[in-house]
Chains A and B, each alone.
Chain A
């Protein structure tokens, strides 16, 4: 293992200390429990948007804390969900009274910890809602698995809902928009190499020189299938077509009923893409793949979308939701409408995303 680290137990702490030192205008960091929060939180009258997850995906989520995006982010250990006390303390710190929306990537650990946190926040009288992000089309069914994982769409939802909260949306409006944007987004990822969790000291899986792993998540876990490595064009076309041709996807999610103070099941179905859809295209590096290669991917993605009647109206290209030093990339397409585009274009000022300011 070759990494720029001091001591393994200090990896997350020292990264957070560095962020606090680098971005004092945007954010502050609270330790024990650990959370990153907006320097000017709580923002009066505004719904607070909080996300979190294991570390190792930087800039997500801590790098998206700031004006127009997240109010707080809760980092866990590398690839390990954060704990409910972090989320609960973060919620108390940034709640202005307008309530807190937890954006939760669909991984069992994140879901269970955020559910516990929502119960704690509710017990304190904080209006709260949990919205799941589950956009990974590599997971085909929800009946025999924990459901689709939350991947690239997370970044887009955090941007869009963060802007809506900034514009004065209520907790219910923010929740509805987050649910809709998640249902409009689909992603798929691939790996050229594995990655090494510092505490483990060796790569999570082995890939041969001429192999690639298709349908990976973002935690160095093996994916859907292993295949011989092929060209950028072929890989891009295969992944884009899986996304574009993905059928309707139905699953049951748990959301919080504030009046009953309990969870209820909600069945959601995502409609497939259709000819004429206008989309945001997001080509993301898993950490080790250079931006130059992402542009090669985007070049082909643009061609495939055009050939299938899908119009890319906005794009985002770069490393935004990574898997440590893994080489590889993910593609996300999100259908848009006027509401989504308006909030995508709205100003954002965070360490990881910044425009319009």
Chain B
């Protein structure tokens, strides 16, 4: 039996996302013989994260809200005590940030965007690079291997659910790190809420517009369709560069990664930089004038035509059918 693998749990004040399940899937795929030890940093309540064999609850006054430096210090100290066979997580913003801190403190390599990994001396890994347009085969030579998987590269196991609750869990162990007085200097000090309800990364449907939308006003029909479907509006990079939509709506390599049940791509050609942001969608519907556009040829469903005619017609048809029932 090898040493346990530590899985960093990205949570915001106790709330976890699907990325936690992906992290467990990644850990078990890499190290099937190792015990999976979830690491939950911060919070008063004892977390119950299902999907792990054991849980480390890391507690300290400086750790209660997210603080990248202090969380990195704490995880590094835990690793020094446990000597895990690896530290892994999913490549979320916090996942990559905390593991980068641990790697920097330990002066160990850190492999991000991993899509395949085989332990050994050295580890053989495969990483997605250039936004997924190329794969890199690499070796990872480390005393403490540190890896994050690319988002959605390891489908989550539906049998594991990740929640935090107040129920006591027999497999929880506490760890209290020793932190420097200024370790919490990068803590979150405030939050500004902009969106409520459905957000781009959690919406079951994303209706997304590209260059073909043509203007800021052109998004009115896309917004109407998204609202009817209980979805969110997304866009491509050219749209934010034109100032038609805020950058927060951008899907792609330099924007958000989404994995909705349905992605409706309107007037988006489907360059690789956009594709990597939405390729995890379960179904893709492309609406485009060009039947040879990559988005059309890679989509599950397509409508060839002018989105300015097609989308209002879809909106009307949905309203007509709803009125009839």
Q: Do A and B come from one complex?
A: no
